[in-house]
Structure 1
Amino acid sequence: MAGSKALPSFCFLLCAASCALAAAASVDYMILSLKWPGTGCQPGWNRKPTCCVDPLINSPEMDFLVEALETYDSVTGERVANCEPICRFLINPLVDLIDDLYAYWPSLSCPAQNGMQKWRTAWCTYGNCTGLSQVNYFGRALQLRAKADVLHALGSKAIIPSETKSYSLDDIEEALVTKIGFSAVVVCTTEIGVLSQQYLLSGVRICVSADGRFLITCPFPRKSNCGSKVKFYPFTDDMLGRPRHPAADHIKLPSNKAIAQ
């Protein structure tokens, strides 16, 4: 009997301690995570597309795309997430950003989605930890992606997508420093071949100021998981499993009531 009475008190104290730790965590920098779809959208073993896009919207740009704008605490170096127990996401405030979101922050999951669930997840996981409005959170992420301009940064050093060519990780990192002004973390996935393991460029992670306005040096050193040689596969429309649809130029937004939760 004594044990059963003590249990609720213990649970309450444990919850209080957890909530205090969560409250103590502060967001004082972010990481912009950009992905290269040429790697993630490689066809599967049956040659079917592994990436899908809603046929009623435009294809994403053939470029590095926003995967997330994550929030971090520079004291601990840990990610800060899910700061609000009840998250409210409204699509209508983003009406002026919608075309850019479809182009540079799309959902590529299969079966095809229109991207709104992806944006809601980003906002509820990280956005509401920032103190920014939805418009500023998404708008500044898009602006930072354009400012980093990773594809052109690599291209300026003759590092261009290729089915066959490999590039030096040092050259990739140097090209990014030249453009961004700071080091960025190059992220790879691995492909196991008959004779060797290959590293495929899958993304770039760049540290960002807490207000989402500036690219900065990361407070904590972060290393690439790539090998010394990296492949940079092309990204093409046929990887998305459908042609561009003529109705893509007209997109009707759902109401706030339909998307808010």
Structure 2
Amino acid sequence: MKSQSPFALTLLLLPPFLATLSVAQDFDFFYFVLQWPGSYCDTEKSCCYPSTGKPAADFGIHGLWPNYNDGSYPSNCDPDSPYDQSKIEDLVRAMQENWPTLACPSSDGTHFWTHEWEKHGTCSESILDQHAYFQSALNLKKQVNLLQALTDAGVKPDGGFYSLNEIKDAINEGTGFTPGIECNVDGSNNSQLYQIYFCVDTSGSQLIECPIYPRGRCGPRIEFPAF
């Protein structure tokens, strides 16, 4: 009979839910996703400003998402680790400014942050606890400084149109990394700059080149609408 490794024997002895959890929390990289509020709102569905007021005309955080190199991703990894705002009280103001919700009806962001932690954050909590998860996303937004990178290259949120390569080159020049670009459409079916994807190592702190990019669905001319 073939002998089993000590690690394999340990997994066999674990309760099934613990063995599953240990596998589910293994991942290859994070997507760090930033969203342009003007494109979120300039659709047939429109948007609602947060109860804390209209956000600044800047990219907002959508999420920090564990992913696998084949394009799949883990989700909802630990139902016993619910969002707990008491653990991040010192970050709430910064999150209201940098991680706002534009979904309707208006809210203070709690529902949005709960979803992001419970669906995505719990899959990285062996590395980042709840406070570290949200802090890492805030740190990455400062590090990327995306709007500055674009405007420095003449790509401005004034309703102008740009090519996909113009946008990618501007971001690469400003950040040193090639982004993934996702577009949506406005009421006139114009392709709009909607979400920007960066890849981050499993520590949640260092940008890396993406092993795989999301499907962007961008047209040949991409509008950068005002907000």
Normalised by the size of structure 1, how large is the TM-score? Answer: 0.73
Equivalent residue number for residue 38 of structure 1: 38
The structural deviation recorded for 1:24 is 5.8
Partners of 1:25 and 1:73 within 8 A in 2? no
Equivalent residue number for residue 248 of structure 1: none
Does the residue aligned with 2:31 lie in a helix, a strand or coil? Answer: strand
Q: Distance in 2 between matches of 1:172 and 1:186?
A: 9
Q: Looking at CA atoms only, which structure, 1 or 2, has the larger radius of gyration?
A: 1
The structural deviation recorded for 1:222 is 4.5
Matched, 1:210 2:199: no
Equivalent residue number for residue 143 of structure 2: 147
The structural deviation recorded for 1:77 is 2.7
**1:1-261 correspondence to structure 2 within 5 Å:** 20=20, 23=23, 26-42=26-42, 44=44, 50-54=47-51, 57-74=52-69, 76-130=70-124, 131=126, 132-163=128-159, 165-191=160-186, 193=188, 197-222=189-214, 224-235=216-227
Does the residue aligned with 1:80 lie in a helix, a strand or coil? Answer: coil
Q: Distance in 2 between matches of 1:51 and 1:102?
A: 14
Partners of 2:43 and 2:185 within 8 A in 1? no
Q: 1:181 to 1:85 in 2, by over 3 A?
A: same
The structural deviation recorded for 1:208 is 0.9
Percentage identity across paired residues of the two chains: 29
Q: 1:220 to 1:21 in 2, by over 3 A?
A: farther
The structural deviation recorded for 1:20 is 4.9
For the aligned residues, what is the CA RMSD? 2.3
Which whole-Å deviations, capped at 9, do the CAs of 1:104-147 have from their partners, x for residues lacking one?
11121111111111111111111111121111100110111121
Higher relative contact order (CA 8 A, sep 6+): 1
Partners of 2:25 and 2:77 within 8 A in 1? no
Q: Distance in 1 between matches of 2:155 and 2:79?
A: 44
Which whole-Å deviations, capped at 9, do the CAs of 1:44-97 have from their partners, x for residues lacking one?
58xxx622311xx253222000111111122x3311111113332211221221
The structural deviation recorded for 1:223 is 5.1
Q: 1:175 to 1:223 in 2, by over 3 A?
A: farther
Q: 1:80 to 1:24 in 2, by over 3 A?
A: closer
The structural deviation recorded for 1:39 is 1.0
Q: How many residues are paired up?
A: 209
Instruction: Provide runs of 4+ in structure 1 moved above 3 Å.
Output: 19-22, 221-224
